[in-house]
Amino acid sequence: MTNSSEKLPSSVTAPDIYQALTSLVMHSEQVRWSRVNTFLVISSLLIAAWVGVLAGTNTNSFPDKKLLLFVLCIPGSLLGVLWARLGWRSSE
């Protein structure tokens, strides 16, 4: 453990600290954009599956169509809540 009264070594300069902080900010933004891209891909797949079931089947040949559409909505809703939580946390 280091003592809080210790000073930084003389080899650490203000530009070094600035470079480290900007690298940290750039990394956090890359993580944020990676999350957005992943969310969009997964959401698009869920929407495509939902539309495929809705348009590709009729109620007479597939009586549990409404149940399947509801089941496809559950992961989409959970994904939205999770994404909102991660976005809120990363904005802190």
Residue 48 lies in a domain: no
Residue 49 lies in a domain: no
The predicted model scores a pTM of 0.67
Confidence of residue 55 (pLDDT cuts 50, 70, 90): confident
- Average pLDDT across the chain, whole number: 83
Q: What is the pLDDT of residues 4-42, one digit of tens each?
A: 556 656 688 888 889 999 998 899 889 888 988 999 999
Nearest 5°: phi and psi at 61? -85, -20
Q: What is the number of structural domains in the chain? A: 1
Q: What is the pLDDT of residue 78?
A: 92
Contact 62, 54 (CB under 8 A): no
Q: Going by C-beta distance under 8 Å and a sequence separation of 6 or more, which residues neighbour residue 49? A: 72
> When comparing pLDDT for 10 and 63, which is higher?
63
Q: What residues make up the domain containing 83?
A: 63-92
Question: What whole-number distance in Å separates Cα of residue 24 and Cα of residue 22?
Answer: 5
